[in-house]
Amino acid sequence: MQNVMKSFREVLSNAKNVLIFTGSGVSAESGIPTFRGAGGFWRKYQAQDLATLRAFKENPSLVWEFYEHRRVIASQAQPNKAHEAIAEFQNHYCTQGKKVTIVTQNIDNLHQRAGAKDVIELHGSLYKTRCIKCKDISVNENIPICPALEEKGLPDPNIMISDIPLDQLPHCEKENCNGLLRPHIVWFGENLDKHILSKTYEAMEECDACLIIGTSSIVYPAAMFAPQVAERGIPVAEFNIEETPATRRFQYHFQGPCTYTVPEALTP
């Protein structure tokens, strides 16, 4: 093991409160496409053209097909060695009375499926819906989420139409509501949940070591968080297959697939 990794493992063994940020790169080796890579496309759209309230209002059928496709992909994916190492590290640290907070930009639920606890999902979850009428938030892991969306999310770029009638899209089952459901996901141009942000800021203030894994640090405000921790003089280690716009802000950068580098850092 190289000396730099040894020194970071030393930092972790002395730390009492570790903060772990993750992005789509932590799920890449589970077969879930990242945004920046080729995977950022579905049919003839870029993910961020569909992850907006405007797209949903204009064509709820198209946006629901996009998210149904991702629900199917993520439900068929397995947590990888990086997700497992993070969950085991959190579990092991808790038995020593230390704290590990996991803050993810991902909506794929793979940290939780690997056994991680109290995961802070900055951008929501593929498996939660929110009613646009009564605002009820519910967990929903049904595949398909409704009969009309069965097999409807295929990424084939030749599929040109998305015309599921509104009344066949997912609707609220709360008493006398029946409002249209949307994914409980933060779209571009939407604010992050205040409560989630305050829990994140608290973890940023309290931590004495930080890891940032598999993110291009391009999307705000998430991109600001690890650099702000580094500004406090806290050791931050970036795990990525390449350098990012934030790399120079961090004390450590471990280059390579995170299923190799993260277990090397976290396994006792």
Position 224 contacts ligand BV8 (CB under 6 A): no
Q: Which position among 171, 174, 199, 249 is part of the footprint of Zn ion (CB under 5 A)? A: 174
Kindly state whether residue 169 participates in binding Zn ion, applying the rule CB under 5 A: no
Task: Establish whether 184 is a catalytic residue.
Answer: no
Helix (H) or strand (E) holding 240: strand 236-240
CA distance 84 to 98: 18
Asked if 216 contacts 161 with a C-beta cutoff of 8 angstroms, the reply is no
Quick one: which H or E segment has residue 46?
strand 45-46
Give the helix/strand (H/E) hosting 41: strand 41-42
What's the CA gap between 46 and 153, in Å, rounded? 15
Smallest gap from Cβ 232 to ligand BV8, in A, equals 22
Out of 241, 245, 248, 267, the only residue in the binding site for ligand BV8 (CB under 6 A) is 241
Among 154, 177, 224, 241, binds Zn ion (CB under 5 A): 177
* The only residue of 87, 149, 172, 209 in contact with Zn ion, by rule CB under 5 A: 172
The yes or no reply on residue 134 touching Zn ion (CB under 5 A) is yes
Of residues 121 through 140, those in contact with ligand BV8 by CB under 6 A are: 123
Look at residues 63, 10, 9, 19 and name the one whose alpha carbon lies nearest to residue 200: 19
The helices-and-strands tally (H runs, E runs) of the chain is 10, 11
Closer Cβ to ligand BV8, 49 or 88, answer by number: 49
Query: Which parts of 221-260 interact with Zn ion (CB under 5 A)?
Result: none
Binding partner of residue 153 among Zn ion, ligand BV8, none, CB under 5 to 8 Å per kind? none
End-to-end CA distance of the chain: 14
Cα separation values, 241 from 97, 184, 199, Å: 32, 30, 29
Residues contributing to the site for ligand BV8 (CB under 6 A) = 23-25, 28-29, 34-37, 47, 51, 105, 107, 123, 185-191, 214-216, 218-222, 239-242, 244, 257-258
Residues contributing to the site for Zn ion (CB under 5 A) = 131, 133-134, 136, 172, 174, 177, 179
